[in-house]
Amino acid sequence: MSNNKCFKLCIDFGNTRTKCAVFENDDIVFTEAFEKFTLAEVKKIFKKFPEISASIVCSVIKTPKNILAFLDDKTQLTELNHQTKIPLKNKYASPETLGKDRLAVSCGAFSLFPKTNLLIINCGTCITFDFVNSKQEYLGGSISLGLEMRFKALHHFTQRLPLISKKEIKQLIGTDTSSSIVTGVINGTVAELEGIIKNYEAKYSGLQIVITGGDADFLKKHLKNRIFAAPNLTLIGLNSILNHLQIH
């Protein structure tokens, strides 16, 4: 890229929170997460960074039209979809159904570790696994229940099990109902993650594992494998897509 300063706004509308970041070229100069993201918040960002000239929106929910209209007026706006040109070759069989957040984290991991076999684990509302090979091809992955969803499911689909929140555990054996739920959900999720990682490592050499999402720090402490944590991976991916669009 040019040495000239380029300010870009990347917004990730998730199921529970909206995260945004302002990049100066490839450096994050501002980032924040919002429970409720409004046009007023967008205007505050532009007041602080009036140099923003490009923006990109990734959304798994219905994106507020007034925010899109504002960004379209103020910047060169990109709404990420399956037709957006990205740094990867998308080999997914039904690209129009692929979650935009999965595409963004894959591009983010590729920007950090190019020409590498990558397994990206996004631990949010759902736990998603995405694979990018060393040939720069996105092949797909899998979707599983996130931690909070597992706790809620046990409570919702039974008559007597209480709703429990995630907490650190040391024991394998639960000695009452509450601790049995916690050890079941946490140890079960960790075993699932380690099993899937092991299967990928057996098939792909030199595998780099990248973990992100709201529960990434919590789960990473329980995993034995060598894992790189990237808390802003979706936003990094969105910025890499904007960079790619500026070149092509």
List residues with catalytic annotation.
101
For residue 58, CA distances in Å to 43, 52, 205, 236 come to 18, 17, 31, 12
Distance, CA of 46 to CA of 51 (rounded, Å): 8
Closest CA to 119 of 108, 111, 109, 127: 109
Paired with 32 in beta bridges are: 20
Q: What are phi and psi of 245, to 5 degrees?
A: -65, -35
Distance, CA of 118 to CA of 141 (rounded, Å): 11
| Number of DSSP helices (H) and strands (E) in the chain, helices first | 7, 11
Contacts of the segment 151-156: beta carbons below 8 A, 24+ positions apart: 151/181, 151/185, 154/181, 154/185
- Whether 110 contacts 88, CB under 8 Å: yes
Distance, CA of 10 to CA of 18 (rounded, Å): 11
Full strand arrangement of the beta sheet holding 208-212: 89-90, 137-145, 126-132, 118-123, 208-212, 227-229
Strand, helix or coil for residue 36: coil
Q: Running DSSP on this structure, what letter comes out for residue 179?
A: H
